[in-house]
Structure 1
Amino acid sequence: MELAMAGALASPPSCRAFSYIHSSSSASTGRALPSFPSKNVTKISSKNFFCSKFDDFSTVARRAPSRVKQLVMRRIVATQETQARDEKKDAGFRSKNPQETNVVIVGATGYIGKFVVKEVVKRGYNVISVAREKSGIGGKSGKEQTQEELQGATVCFSEVTDAKTLENALRETTQSVDVVISCLASRTGGVKDSWLIDYQATRNSLDAGRALGATHFVLLSAICVQKPLLEFQKAKLKFEEELMSTGEGFTYSIVRPTAFFKSLGGQVESVKGGGPYVMFGDGALSACKPISEADLASFIADCIVDKDKINKVLPIGGPGKALTPLEQGTMLFEIVGKEPKFIKVPIQVMDFVIGILDFLVKIFPNLEDSAEFGKIGRYYAAESMLVLDPKTGQYDADATPSYGKDTLENFFRKVVREGMAGQELGDQAVFK
Structure 2
Amino acid sequence: MMKDADAVRRILVAGATGTIGRAVVRRLVADGHAVTALLRPGAGETCLAALSGAEIVCVALSDCDALAGVMTAASPDVVISCIASRSGAPKDAEAIDFAANVALLDAAQGAGARQFILLSAICVQKPLLAFQHAKLAFEARLAASGIDYAIVRPTAFFKSLSGQVKRVKAGKPFLIFGDGELTRCKPISDDDLARFIVRCIDNPDTRSRIFPIGGPGPAISLREQGELLFELAGKPPRFKSVSPRLFTWAERVLALGAGVSGWFAEKAEYARIARYYATESMLVLDPDTGEYSAGLTPEYGSETLSDHYRRLLAES
Shorter-chain TM-score category? over 0.9
Matched, 1:113 2:26: no
Match of 1:169 in 2: 70
* CA distance 1:278–1:146, shift in 2 (3 Å): closer
Q: Decide which moves more: 204-213 or 365-374.
A: 365-374
Matched, 1:134 2:42: yes
Instruction: Deviation per CA, 1:246-267: give whole Å up to 9, x if none.
Output: 12xx210000000000101101
Deviation at 1:169, TM superposition (A): 2.4
The equivalences for 1:88-107 within 5 A come to 97-99=6-8, 101-107=9-15
Matched, 1:316 2:184: no
Deviation at 1:149, TM superposition (A): 2.4
Match of 2:127 in 1: 228
Unaligned 5+ runs, structure 1:
1-94, 136-140, 420-432
Once residues 148 and 269 of structure 1 are traced to their aligned partners in structure 2, the CA distance between those partners, rounded to angstroms, is 26
The equivalences for 1:26-105 within 5 A come to 97-99=6-8, 101-105=9-13
Maintained 8 Å contact 1:98/1:126: no
Once residues 149 and 344 of structure 1 are traced to their aligned partners in structure 2, the CA distance between those partners, rounded to angstroms, is 38
Deviation at 1:290, TM superposition (A): 0.2
SS of residue matched to 2:131: helix
Matched, 1:199 2:98: yes
Match of 1:186 in 2: 85
Matched, 1:281 2:195: no
Match of 1:77 in 2: none
Maintained 8 Å contact 1:260/1:291: yes
Once residues 155 and 208 of structure 1 are traced to their aligned partners in structure 2, the CA distance between those partners, rounded to angstroms, is 18
Once residues 219 and 163 of structure 1 are traced to their aligned partners in structure 2, the CA distance between those partners, rounded to angstroms, is 19
Once residues 290 and 122 of structure 1 are traced to their aligned partners in structure 2, the CA distance between those partners, rounded to angstroms, is 24
Match of 1:53 in 2: none
SS of residue matched to 1:393: coil
Instruction: Deviation per CA, 1:379-420: give whole Å up to 9, x if none.
Output: 01100000011221100101000000000011111111103x
Match of 2:229 in 1: 332
* CA distance 1:303–1:96, shift in 2 (3 Å): farther
* CA distance 1:277–1:134, shift in 2 (3 Å): same
Deviation at 1:275, TM superposition (A): 0.3
Match of 1:399 in 2: 296
Q: CA RMSD in A?
A: 1.4
SS of residue matched to 1:360: coil
Matched, 1:255 2:164: no
Q: Decide which moves more: 303-312 or 217-226.
A: 303-312
Once residues 40 and 246 of structure 2 are traced to their aligned partners in structure 1, the CA distance between those partners, rounded to angstroms, is 39
Match of 2:50 in 1: 149
Match of 1:371 in 2: 268
Once residues 91 and 262 of structure 2 are traced to their aligned partners in structure 1, the CA distance between those partners, rounded to angstroms, is 12
Q: Percent identity?
A: 46
Give the alignment partner of residue 277 of structure 2, picking from 360, 380, 383: 380
Give the TM-score taking structure 1 as reference length.
0.70
Instruction: Deviation per CA, 1:228-276: give whole Å up to 9, x if none.
Output: 11111110000001111112xx210000000000101101110111100
Instruction: Deviation per CA, 1:322-369: give whole Å up to 9, x if none.
Output: 000011111111111111111111221221111111112124332221
Q: Which has the higher contact order (CA 8 A, sep 6+)?
A: 2
Once residues 178 and 241 of structure 1 are traced to their aligned partners in structure 2, the CA distance between those partners, rounded to angstroms, is 22
Unaligned 5+ runs, structure 2:
none
| Structure 2 counterpart of 1:153, one-letter code | A
Once residues 198 and 119 of structure 1 are traced to their aligned partners in structure 2, the CA distance between those partners, rounded to angstroms, is 24
Once residues 207 and 290 of structure 1 are traced to their aligned partners in structure 2, the CA distance between those partners, rounded to angstroms, is 32
Deviation at 1:210, TM superposition (A): 0.8
Match of 1:87 in 2: none
Give the alignment partner of residue 122 of structure 1, picking from 30, 35, 41: 30
Q: Decide which moves more: 252-261 or 155-164.
A: 155-164
Maintained 8 Å contact 1:316/1:403: yes
Once residues 350 and 212 of structure 1 are traced to their aligned partners in structure 2, the CA distance between those partners, rounded to angstroms, is 45
Give the alignment partner of residue 108 of structure 2, picking from 199, 202, 209: 209
Q: Which has the larger radius of gyration?
A: 1
- How many residues are aligned here? 313
Once residues 105 and 333 of structure 1 are traced to their aligned partners in structure 2, the CA distance between those partners, rounded to angstroms, is 37
| Structure 1 counterpart of 2:99, one-letter code | Q
SS of residue matched to 1:402: coil
